[in-house]
């Protein structure tokens, strides 16, 4: 399945702009998608992906269980050096 055609949700670009640029918050993507699908999405949405300090996918070795288990989120927090609590 070609993921490059996936559209961003309404308001996503503005939200990322607010958090990453205006508020200067650390930003990550923690997704249940596999890394290959994320790379395809990135091709279309580089304007948003460029603001992400890290991307954690479900096929990363540290992710033992997918969502709703916290593995993906904990790995993202670790990479951002933020407390996940």
* 11 vs 13: CA distance, rounded Å: 6
pLDDT in tens, 17-63: 999 988 999 999 999 999 998 998 888 889 899 999 999 999 999 99
Specify which residues 85 forms β-bridges with: none
- Tell me: pLDDT of 1 over 60: no
Specify which residues 29 forms β-bridges with: 55
In contact, 27 and 13? CB cutoff 8 Å: no
Structure tokens at 61: 């070795």
In contact, 9 and 35? CB cutoff 8 Å: no
| Helical H segments across 1-85, by residue range | 12-16, 35-44, 46-49, 71-80
Question: What pTM, to 2 d.p., does this model score?
Answer: 0.83
């Amino acid at each position: 399945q070609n993921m490059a055609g996936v559209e961003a949700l309404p308001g996503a670009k503005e939200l990322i702009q607010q958090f990453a640029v205006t508020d200067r918050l650390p930003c990550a993507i923690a997704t249940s998608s596999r890394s290959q699908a994320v790379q395809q999405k990135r091709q279309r949405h580089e304007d948003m992906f460029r603001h992400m300090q890290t991307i954690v996918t479900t096929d990363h070795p540290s992710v033992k269980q997918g969502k709703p288990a916290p593995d993906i989120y904990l790995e993202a927090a670790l990479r951002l050096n933020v407390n996940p609590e």
